Structure formats: structure tokens, C-alpha cells
Amino acid sequence: MKRRYFTTFIVSLLFILIAGIVLISQNNEQKPENEDYHKAFSGSYALYSPPLPDSLHFAGESVPLDQYHIREALDKEILVNVYWQSNILLYIKRAYRYFPVIEAVLKENNLPEDFKYLAVIESGLTNVVSPSKAEGFWQFLKTTGANFGLEITPEVDERYHLEKATKAACDYLKNSYKLHGSWTAAAAAYNMGDGGYKRTVTAQKTTSYWDLYLNAETARYVYRILAVKLIFENPDIYGIKLRLKDLYQPIPCKILKVDTGIVNLVDFALQQGIDYKTLKDFNPWLRSTSLTNKTNKTYEISIPEKEYLSYQKQIEAIEQHELYKGEKP
């Protein structure tokens, strides 16, 4: 019995010794490989602090970049946007489709073009719904949207109509400019509300946005606009490389005027040679499957030119573009 226990002990001891030798051998073999990996990583991977401009303007108004807290706040927002790569790329891709519409409405209403960047930080140029129920590209609350002339019903919600919502945003911003005396303040008030901004200015005895102590969201708001503006206007400086064919192309539409009710929008879409999803994609302001229209109001419904729903057709159009560099898709 003792002999058997002794034999078992010796075998176990030998097994442990052999396992230890194997592990040591493996560690020795892996050590050079790990060292090479870490050297390669440290030699090729790098993070850079994106440059800040020497001077900057928003809507024609100078930004006092010589003040440390302003420079650091802008630096933060540039870092956040530059290194959230997927987000900033999507912003730029979408902007190519939607900025022409927004720019045209801003120009028609004599608003500085820089306000197109406000729409970017509000919604990312998507029809999102915020936790407070602000909706659409310009993030109007239901009451505010209605106050600025937008139709908002269970069937029609013009907060989702890009041209009309942009016009309403122009009216709001022009009112804010009259109240607060600067476009920078108007931008901040768009986030905070005119009443809240006015009370803050009065309480802190300053009229400059840059000198106000604000809630965290509004304190960042204008800097976020400025960061997006800088990146959009100087993509190469911030390491963004996009080709024309990478951008989301505008899709031509014909406008169909309707002054009667539509019983079934699914059937209506099929009659126009498109499906219901496409109808909704190009007319997100239609919020139901029907359009009652008891007052015989004239609505303009966008019907995309079907051939441009093809990616290949878009590529052919891009190849004719004056900025096309000759890259093949």
C-alpha cells in the first residue's frame, strides 16, 4: 500500500515538473513576440491634439479665443467630434444631401449661413425625437412649432418638413436676435429658451454669452456649433478624407400638389410608381396612413425620380460633376 502511494506521489511530482517546464518554455517563446507587438504598437499608434485656429467668427461675430476658458471649451468640442469618427463622417455625408435645402431657406430669410450647423448639433440631420419630445431636424417642441406656423396634427407634422421647419427656425432665431442683440446669443437661446436666457443675462449683469455661467448643456452649445463648423470647413486639417462618391447625394424629386384627401397613402404611393416606405422617406411629415384634408389645403408631396433611387445612376451623375476627380466607384 505504501509502495503504491509512493509511486503515485512520484508520478504526480513528475507531472507538475514537466508542466512547469512547458509553461516556462512557452513564456520564454512568447516574450519576444509580446515585446515586438508592444514596440510596433507604440511606434505606429499616435493620438494628436487637433489644431485650433488663430481667429474664428460665428455668423459674422468674433469669438474671443484669447480667453483661456473659451479656447479650452472649443478644444474639448473639437476633440469630441474629431475622435468620434463615425459620427462626424455621418454628419458630413448627410449634409451633402440636406445642406442645399437648408442654405437656400436661410438665404431667403436673410439669416447667416452658419446656422446650418445648429441643425447638425440639434439632430445630426435626422428626424429624431428628444426625451422632451422635441422633434425633427430643428428639434421643435409641439407648442413652439405651432407658435411659429407649423401644422402639427395626428396626420401632418411639419416639424418633419425640412423647408417649413427651417423657415420656422429662421423666424425663431430672428426674434431671438431682436431680443438679445447678437447671433451668438440667439444660438444659445435656441437651446435654453428666450425667457431662460434673458433671466440669466439679467441676473449675471452681462450681455455676452462668453461671460455667462450657464447650465452644462447651454454652456457647451455654441462651442459644439463652432467645432462642427471648423471641421466641415477644414476637413483635411482634421484628418477627414471623403470622396464625392462617399457623400449622400441629393435625389431629384417631382412635386405633386394635392388639395383633396388621400384615403390610403399605401395605394397612393403605388399609383405614383413607388412603395409606401419611399413615400414616407421623402415625406416624413406625413404621419399617418391617410390624409383627411377636410379644408382642401394644398399640400406638396415629393415623389423621387425613380431612376435616381439607383446607386449606379447616382454614380453616373457624380462622374459628370465638376468636382469629380476620376476615382472609379
pLDDT, tens digit (0-9, with 9 covering 90-100), for 216-271: 999 999 999 999 999 999 999 999 999 998 999 999 999 999 999 999 999 999 99
Q: What is the pLDDT of residue 266?
A: 98
pLDDT, tens digit (0-9, with 9 covering 90-100), for 111-133: 999 999 999 999 999 999 999 99
CA distance 97 to 91: 10
Cβ neighbour number for residue 257 with a 10 Å cutoff: 8
User: pLDDT band at residue 329, thresholds of 50, 70 and 90?
Assistant: very low
Here the cell at position 23 is 509553461
- What domains lie within the chain, and their CATH numbers? 57-242 (1.10.530.10), 253-319 (no CATH)
Q: Is residue 216 exposed (0-12), middle (13-18) or buried (19+ Cβ within 10 Å)?
A: exposed
User: pLDDT band at residue 328, thresholds of 50, 70 and 90?
Assistant: very low
Task: Summarize the confidence of residues 268-275 as an average pLDDT.
Answer: 96
Q: What is the pLDDT of residue 316?
A: 82
Q: What is the pLDDT of residue 29?
A: 54
For the chain, strand residue ranges (E) read: 57-58, 61-62, 253-258, 299-304
Task: Give the Cα-Cα-Cα angle 224, 145, 113 (nearest 5 degrees).
Answer: 40
- Beta-carbon-side half-sphere exposure of residue 217 (alpha carbons within 13 Å): 8
Dihedral of CA 236/237/239/240: which sign?
negative
| pTM (predicted TM-score) | 0.85
pLDDT, tens digit (0-9, with 9 covering 90-100), for 305-325: 988 888 888 888 777 765 555
Taking the mean position of all CA atoms in its chain, how far away is CA 5?
73
Q: What is the pLDDT of residue 317?
A: 78
CA distance 185 to 224: 14
Helix (H) / strand (E) element for 212: namely: none
Task: Summarize the confidence of residues 200-212 as an average pLDDT.
Answer: 95
Dihedral of CA 267/271/272/278: which sign?
positive
